[in-house]
Amino acid sequence: MESWANLDFHLDLSGPGGLRQRLTASLREAVRSARLPPGTRLPASRSLAADLGIARNTVAEAYAALVAEGWLTARQGSGTVVAQRVEPPAPVHRGAPASDVRYDLRVSTPDVTEFPRAEWVRSTRRALMAAPSEAFGPGDPRGRIELRTALAEYLSRARGVRADPERIVVSSGFGGAVQMFDKLFTPPVVVEEYGLQFHRSLWTSTVPLAVDDHGANTEQLPDDLRACVLTPAHQFPLGGPLHPRRRAAAVEWARRVDGLVLEDDYDGEFRYDRQPVGAVQGLDPEHVVYLGTSSKALSPALRIAWMVLPDRYVDPVLALKTNREQHVSMLDQLTLADFLARGAYDSHVRRMRLKYQRRRDRLVDAVSPYASVSGIAAGMHAVLETPHEKAVVDAARERGVAVSPLSWFRHEQSDDDRSGVVVSFGAPAFPRALPSFMEALAACH
């Protein structure tokens, strides 16, 4: 049982009504919102009155009112405690009423309940014990050398990236990395016609590049622009890989215009029908920037991303990073370095690859009477091709399941009219949500 005496806690006594009513309302809201969780022991009325500079009777009367309402319990010798029957409110999904969504299957979400806590703690301890004293100083804007060295080895081995620690820059998330390049190129930048709206918003302006079953049509890249963003391993969200001919065309274009391909390898480790395809960066490290992140393999909460840069872009990126971006936590960098170096990252990816493959197989089998699934067997989401996009999304929402319409991901300048629904089978809620989603899908066909 936690005691309030051990916590810093703020009560807002402003607002209408008398002092007792304001104190009662403030305590009630603290319990209702779980700022005071069940089992918390409140201070004695005399102590709280002294802390607040009010009369003891005022506190005693507020306590008594909340006991009568069931928010608190009071027993002889045990003091006043937040009632166990009071539960924290269910989390509210952004853009939807709390009662509207029970299961969120939007976008490409990893199962964060599978985060390897014990192994991460082990790496944290090892990293702290081995860290040199200078690691606790201001830090290198490129990132810790331990992490850059571990990344160079892993990316070379697992993704075919031609990496050197001196050409790797660690960033606090994919968005921070992209915004640096927005300063280095004259807009607009070429992006795939399907992708996250958030990613497009990071650029000053963008133009779409058509996407089909062979990935982005890089043979149509315009010679008057110098930067292009691709998801070649697994196009987001349609799911196709970039055809070898188009991989070569992208590199040839970058050489011809002296530009850059920014390769977003957001879930490149997770392919289920064969070994993952190597990175495009391996074809020409001087004209391709490799962008990776820990968000899909481990957790988006880590906020660790990395760039493998052409040599000529290292100093310009560092100049922007130093002035514009906060450094990634030193401890998280050292922990991830150890996690990579001792093979724990590989083990976790292999385990999650099997779990996601089974979930995808289950989804594909379940929807087969009603919809086909686009793209390859990879990643953590699937696009269900259906002419009833809006109807399926609405029917799923009526059953408490949130899925994304494919049209949400279409570039505003695209004239493509594909219809479908994006479902995250990686989301923690997927196994529980599937029966309700299938009811919705069947009702629309």
**DSSP 8-state code for residue 326:** P
Read off the pLDDT of residues 327-371 as tens digits, 9 standing for 90 and up: 788 999 999 999 999 999 999 999 999 999 999 999 999 999 999
Query: pLDDT digit string (tens) for 203-248?
Result: 999 999 999 999 999 999 999 999 999 999 999 999 999 999 999 9
What integer is the mean pLDDT of 134-149? 90
Mean pLDDT of 406-424: 94
Q: What is the pLDDT of residue 255?
A: 97
Size (the chain), residues = 445
Which candidate, 253, 254, 238, 244, places its Cα nearest to that of 193? 238
> Residue 4: is its pLDDT beyond 70?
no
* Residue 89 confidence (pLDDT): 40
What's the confidence (pLDDT) of residue 6?
59
| Whether residue 99 has pLDDT greater than 50 | no
pLDDT of residue 88: 41
Q: What is the pLDDT of residue 8?
A: 64
| 208 CB burial (10 A radius; 0-12, 13-18, 19+) | buried
Nearest to 297 by CA among 171, 148, 116, 123: 116
For the cut 80, the answer to whether the pLDDT of residue 315 exceeds it is yes
Confidence category of residue 93, pLDDT binned at 50, 70, 90: very low
Helical H runs in 231-310?
244-257
Residue 92 binned pLDDT confidence (cut-offs 50, 70, 90): very low
Give the fold, CATH level 3, of 103-115+346-443.
Aspartate Aminotransferase, domain 1 (3.90.1150)
Q: What is the mean pLDDT of residues 150-165?
A: 95
Residue 222, token pair as written in the block: 């315009």
Average pLDDT over every residue of 142-170 = 95
Contact 230, 218 (CB under 8 A): yes
Residues in Cβ contact with 413 at an 8 Å cutoff, skipping those fewer than 6 apart: 193, 207, 208
CA–CA distance, 23 with 61 (Å, rounded to integer): 10
- Pick from 126-130, 250-254, 301-305, 325-329: least confident: 325-329
Q: 178 pLDDT exceeds 60?
A: yes
Which SS3 state, helix, strand or coil, does residue 190 take?
strand
172 HSE (CA, 13 A, CB side): 10
CATH topology for 133-342 is Aspartate Aminotransferase; domain 2 (3.40.640)
Domain locations in the chain as residue ranges: 4-82, 103-115+346-443, 133-342
For residue 204, give the DSSP letter. Answer: S
Q: Can you tell me the mean pLDDT for 101-117?
A: 90
- DSSP helix/strand/coil, 219: helix
How much is the average pLDDT of 134-158? 92
| Amino acid symbol at 349 | V
Please report, for residues 123, 141, 177, 231, 303, the alpha-carbon distance to residue 325 in angstroms, rounded to integers and kept in the order given: 26, 9, 9, 24, 12
| Predicted confidence (pLDDT) at residue 320 exceeds the cutoff of 90 | no
Q: Please determine, for residue 69, whether its predicted confidence score (pLDDT) is greater than 80.
A: no
- Identify the pLDDT of residue 198: 85
Residue 132 confidence (pLDDT) above 70: yes
Mean pLDDT, to the nearest integer, of 34-59? 88
Per-residue pLDDT tens digits for 236-286: 999 999 999 999 999 999 999 999 999 999 999 999 988 878 899 999 999
Q: What mean pLDDT is predicted for residues 426-435?
A: 95
Instruction: State the average pLDDT over residues 132-139.
Output: 86
At 85 the pLDDT is 58
pLDDT for 322 equals: 65
Residues 317, 169: Cα–Cα separation, whole Å: 8
From the number of C-beta atoms within 10 Å of its C-beta (0-12, 13-18, 19+), residue 53 rates as exposed
Position 3 scores a pLDDT of: 61
pLDDT at 94 over 50: no
Q: Do domains 103-115+346-443 and 133-342 have the same CATH topology?
A: no
Architecture per CATH, domain 4-82, reads as Orthogonal Bundle (1.10)
Interatomic CA distance for residues 131 and 134, integer angstroms: 8
Cis-peptide, bond into residue 188, ω within 30° of zero: yes
Distances (CA, A) of 16 to 19, 142, 182, 252, 368: 9, 53, 50, 70, 59
pLDDT at 418: 95
Mean pLDDT over the full length of the chain: 89
